[in-house]
Structure 1
Amino acid sequence: MSRIARRATAFAAAAFMSSAMLAIMSAGLASAADPILGNWKTELGDTAAIEQCGGGFCITLKNGKHAGQKIGAFEGQEGSYSGKITDPEANKTYNGTITVSGDTVTLKGCVMKVVCESQKWSRL
């Protein structure tokens, strides 16, 4: 093998290893990016996915009567979030908060900060 061919092969191998390492590191960062991300079991037994959207997080129901419906949009980080949550049965949207503690999220929605209800969801 010529010197040029060996260098080209070495360069290609180094480039491949660099891109593979970046992919592995990015996957690790994405999964550790925020504790709110993932699938959650609601109090009614449905699955809700919390995913990144825009500059925050969106909640979409994955199964049940309201499958495919976006029911929340939140901003925040590291376990504490605020935004809007929709009760899909009543089709009403409320100001809300989400806190994450381990494998549990607590959602709290309020009307005029006076009448509030909360739910606890568990990670799937």
Structure 2
Amino acid sequence: MFRKMSMALAATLLLAGAAYADPIEGNWKTQSGETAAIGGCGGGFCITLKTGKHAGKQIGKMNASGDNKYKGTITDPADDKTYSGSASLSGSSLNMTGCALKIFCKTQKWTKL
């Protein structure tokens, strides 16, 4: 009896955790056609490439800054340079921006898979 109740409680907690996932979490198609996974890590969200030449490489870390906006760092996997980054989520689109010196910026639009 105790074992059944423990298993039911564990299943309920797992399902409840999934219901509270942040909308940025999941798999995204990048502008270049690769797939990136965004998931929780260390109090923020880590961005890891899943496909392409740099598959498995972590390319960013973001923290929520309110109203579906995120701030952190983005790394260009081609040259390993890291930039200040931000992201804004609107429906199934994610605008990822990386800036050098806060004036030279590039933005990509990612789509949720």
Sequence identity of aligned pairs in percent? 50
Query: What's the TM-score once normalised by structure 1's chain length?
Result: 0.80
Using the alignment, how far apart are the partners of 1:28 and 1:22 within structure 2? 10
Q: Which runs of no fewer than 5 residues in structure 1 stay unpaired?
A: 1-11
Deviation track 1:38-79 (CA, whole Å, cap 9, x = no partner) reads 000001111000011111000000010000000001111552
Q: Equivalent residue for 2:87? A: 98
Distance 1:78 1:36, change over 3 A: farther
Residues 59-111 of structure 1 deviation map (CA, whole Å, 9 limit, x = unaligned)? 00001000000000111155211000001112211001011111111101111
What pairs up with 1:76-95 in 2 under 5 angstroms? 76=64, 79-95=68-84
- The RMSD of aligned alpha carbons is 1.9
Taking structure 2 as the reference length, the TM-score comes to 0.87
Amino acid at match of 1:41: K
Distance 1:49 1:31, change over 3 A: farther
Aligned to 2:39: 51
Aligned residues: 112
Name stretches of at least 5 consecutive residues in structure 2 with no aligned partner: none
The answer to whether the aligner puts 1:119 opposite 2:113 as a matched pair is no
Of 99, 104, 109, 1:110 maps to 99
Which of 11, 18, 23 matches 1:35? Answer: 23
Q: Is 1:75 matched with 2:101?
A: no
Residues 1:16 and 2:4 are matched in the alignment: yes
- Matches of 2:12 and 2:28, distance apart in 1: 25
